[in-house]
Amino acid sequence: MNFESGYQSLKQNADPKRWSDQKALQTDEKLVIEGHPVMERWETPYMEAFAELVTRNGGRILECGFGLGISAGAIQSYSPEEHIIIEANQDVFQGLIDFQKNAVNQVTPILGLACEVLDSFQEQSFEGIFYDTYPLNADEQHTHQFNFVQKAYPLLKTGGTLSYCNLTSTGVLKNRYDSWEALFKETQLPYLIEAGVPENDVKGIIVFNVSPPTDCLYFQHKSAMIPIIIKD
């Protein structure tokens, strides 16, 4: 088994604030920023599954990371009361503005780094939260989602659902584990608890079949995980 497959090219000690000004190169099939493959179209069914999960209670939905707009479009199909989307890159944000203009349901776009923007929201204000941003340096490749969860979990209403995606991490980590359940138990659950999520609120994962193309640099597995966190 090749433990080194998956994405290995993130910069060390890079300033996250630089990301805002980086040129985004986008086609219908992929989004590339700073030479990194940020998102690809094959993720569509996977993103749709996240959207279904976090919109289970309707209401206000917080989404972090717009990318190609795949999950945003799927979330809109569930008619949220309000759909707040945070995006850190200015080029991608312009695509988000276009998305807002054409959206049937209310979309509130916010430019900025997710963890910084969260301070502007009140506790218990969202029925669903979905986090899928790109790691901005190698230091946070496997852990940036937990920093977000620590700040975002208090914003979730009782009964609300939070989930996150970090394929740039799990594309590497899965090589070391025979199952997604084992990976989640060892590399995710302890950090979620440390971030302030009660263990009883972590409901486990969905294992979802995916079909990445052979030239995808960040993920080469036939399934991916969908974490399920529900605030009791």
What are the CA-CA distances from residue 51 to residues 3, 36, 79, 114 (Å)? Answer: 31, 24, 11, 18
State the pLDDT confidence band at 10, using cuts at 50, 70 and 90. Answer: confident
Pairing of strands 82-87, 126-131: unpaired
Predicted local confidence at residue 6, as pLDDT: 59
Task: Give the DSSP H/E element, type plus range, for residue 161.
Answer: strand 156-164
Rounded to an integer, the average pLDDT of 181-207 is 98
How remote is the C-alpha of 170 from its chain's centroid?
Answer: 12
Predicted local confidence at residue 17, as pLDDT: 83
What are the CA-CA distances from residue 15 to residues 66, 137, 151 (Å)? Answer: 20, 8, 20
Higher pLDDT, 91 or 137: 91
What average pLDDT does the chain have? 94
Predicted local confidence at residue 137, as pLDDT: 80
State the pLDDT confidence band at 154, using cuts at 50, 70 and 90. Answer: very high
In terms of Cα–Cα distance, which of 31, 47, 19, 15 is closest to 216? 31
Domains and CATH numbers, the chain: 27-230 (3.40.50.150)
Instruction: Tell whether the model's pLDDT for residue 2 goes beyond 90.
Output: no
Count how many Cα atoms sit within 13 Å of the Cα of residue 8 in the half-sphere of its side chain: 6
Cα separation, 231 vs 23, whole angstroms: 38
The pLDDT tens digits of the residues spanning 132-144 come to 999 888 888 999 9
Least confident piece of the model among 13-22, 41-50, 117-126: 13-22
**Dihedrals φ, ψ of 218, to 5°?**
-105, -10
